[in-house]
A and B are shown apart, each in its own frame.
Chain A
């Protein structure tokens, strides 16, 4: 069977810099996969390629058997890929509830005229969305905060809210860019549980970019390692941990920090 997401020989250049180079990588349906690498390795760039923010200089990206290269980001989301952002991008002037509600627009059956006329069909759909938003918020323990401005939430909650908002688009593949950043150890434990739970409950595939090794190793079945845009290793968490190339790539980065 074909994988859900398939990145084939993808290269992206920014001027003279090859941010991603000849990358081959696939994520299967319902799989929990990880993408790691030192700072500037090109992980976020891979996310931006998959979601259509950047276009690959060469290569192809296929999702559910069809190429997504050159599609506008909102169309790619409609095909079933949702993401969170490394530098949180919530809708700052909206409440927690409204942030999630905005992600339901894609699945609306009503449009301008229903919104103006407000017949029974409109009210029914709004009531249904209302209930679904609340259900999602409750799952992620954000129900209490529904009317709070999203800016006012603690950092960890904002990251979780971004996950909820992404899930509201009903994706088949969820891309998480450093969801544990800024979380304390308890929140990280809870996050790992939530990622696994999400994957099971909604039966979606997850691609996780994360610097916290404990989180990556504890959630993902398979991990790919990027260094300077090149994939240097791929395999199960145990293999990755022992891989000399990976150790070298990380040591090269971390040694000065320890000195």
Chain B
């Protein structure tokens, strides 16, 4: 099925387009969840490139998302649209957001790539918090009061177009001889180096590309919620995305997509549970606090299935048998 990646991508895009034609009548509550799912797929799949495939533990994905969200929002707010088509204007804004996030990724990535494991996690976490603090102090974008975005350009089609693009890029990047480098870096950096693989370059590519897509997701988010505030991109948002990657199985794209869907719906479902008056009080309290549940979920998962729900099933990976064209 994945032998024809371009066809597959085209099908996904056509499907998003077709579905978007019928999304007018959908209940706004569900529409909201459906767009959130798309955005979370972009976030989780792009973080998976860094944390899953390349084995670097980044805790700053929400920071890159923030960089993209604010850049894209500032773009549509402050740049006069002149006479270009709205769609093009929106795409330019998203691209600017992705670019800003990628630059941030480069800026954090290059100096911190000597760090391993926990140290890298701490540096990226600190970076995420720095972004939040900086944003809290820029008056032009509303500082800690938040930033209202006038235009709600984000729709079903563009959300799922970029979700498909993210999946396409990351799956096919990794699934090539070139892409074995990411996995080699994850498995054994010293051996990778000794096999002539430029490990630093691979880590920088993973960081920058991961951040780029997080920035796109941020831009989509800003023009979907039409209101963004710095605390929306704090440490907890990063943890949300990390949980999706771990739950889906590090490096397993299909699993991570599934986890992104699951963990977007779960909080909504929990909200329903916590509203059910016939349930015992303690249960409603637990349901109300999703961080407690996530922690429990992770502990149980690590004890029973450390490889993630789907582990090595790797629906998107196969040993390729390329035929001569």
Q: Which residue numbers of A lie inside 8 Å of B, CB to CB?
A: 51, 53, 72-74, 77-78, 82-83, 85, 89-95, 97-98, 101-106, 108, 110-112, 114-116, 118, 120, 122-127, 129-130, 146-147, 165-166, 168-169
Contacts and interface: CB of A to CB of B under 8 A. Distances in A.
Interface of B: 5-6, 168-169, 172-173, 176-181, 183-184, 186-188, 190-199, 205, 251, 312, 319-325
10 contacts: A74-B196, A89-B190, A91-B187, A92-B188, A93-B186, A93-B251, A104-B177, A105-B197, A120-B325, A129-B177
Contact of B180 (A102, A111, A116, A147): A102
Nearest to B181: A105
A59 B196 CA distance: 24
A82 B194 contact: yes
Given A92-B187, A126-B177, A102 B319 contact: no
Given A123-B325, A127-B324, A74 B179 contact: no
A168 B197 CA distance: 12
B4 to A, nearest CB: 9
Contact of A102 (B173, B192, B320): B192
Contacts of B6: 118
Query: Among the interface residues B6, B177, B196, which one has the most CB atoms of the partner chain A within 10 A?
Result: B196
Query: Among the interface residues B177, B184, B188, which one has the most CB atoms of the partner chain A within 10 A?
Result: B177
Nearest to A93: B187
Given A95-B319, A123-B325, A124-B324, A112 B194 contact: no
B176 A126 contact: yes
B168 to A, nearest CB: 8
A169 B196 contact: yes
A102 B181 contact: yes
A124 B322 CA distance: 8
Contact of B178 (A51, A82, A108, A146): A108
A169 to B, nearest CB: 5
A180 B193 CA distance: 24
A97 B317 CA distance: 14
B204 to A, nearest CB: 12
Contacts of A85: 190-191, 194
Query: Among the interface residues A102, A112, A114, A116, which one has the most CB atoms of the partner chain B within 10 A?
Result: A102
A165 B322 contact: no
Nearest to B186: A93
Query: Among the interface residues A90, A124, A127, which one has the most CB atoms of the partner chain B within 10 A?
Result: A127
